[in-house]
Every structure is written in C-alpha cells, then in structure tokens.
Amino acid sequence: MVQMAGLEVKTTSETGKARRADERQTRRVQLEMTMKAWDRLNRLKDTTEASSYADVIKEALRLYEFMIEEDDKGSEFVIRRGEKETAVKLFA
C-alpha cells in the first residue's frame, strides 16, 4: 500500500483478491473530501449520467491531462458564446 497526500492506494494483490492473468492491474484510491467537493462530484455524476463516481473521476483526469498537455504546447483556451470570445488562462 502507498499513501500520498491523503490518498491510500492499494494494488489488487494487496486487497487479497485473486487476479486472472488476463486482467489489467488496478489501483484502489480512497478519497476524503469536503461536503462541497462531494456535492460537486454528485452533481457531475448526475449531469453526465455516469455509471459511477470512478467514471466521473477518470473522465475528469483525462480532460485535466489533455488541457495540461495543450497548455504546455502553448495552446490558448477560449470560451465562445455566440459571437463573443473570451480568452481564459487556466494554469499559472
């Protein structure tokens, strides 16, 4: 088990569950969050009709990773509503 910044990560072998050879190795993460963050997670799950909280978090990580990669390449982020465009600086 690995602990880092409030996260507890266990490999499937540490959970005591047997794995078949063809299964992907997974990690289990236990999160502690404020009620405000919990409400946001619930709202996102409902809005996106995700089947689980894990799905919401996995999609959020994919989006966050993509945006960081694009920012590193010098991409600009723009919000467009109708004819109005607003440049947004997401990362410091």
CA-to-CA distance for 92 and 86, rounded, in angstroms? Answer: 17
Token pair, residue 48, equals: 């996106």
In the numeric block, the tokens 């799905």 are attached to 55
**What are 60-77's pLDDT values in tens digits?**
999 999 999 999 999 999
As a whole number of Å, the end-to-end CA separation of the chain is 33
Please state the pTM of the whole predicted model: 0.66
Average pLDDT, the chain: 84
pLDDT in tens, 19-43: 565 567 888 899 999 999 999 999 9
State the pLDDT at residue 91. Answer: 87
Whether the CB-CB separation of 29 and 7 falls below 8 Å is answered with yes
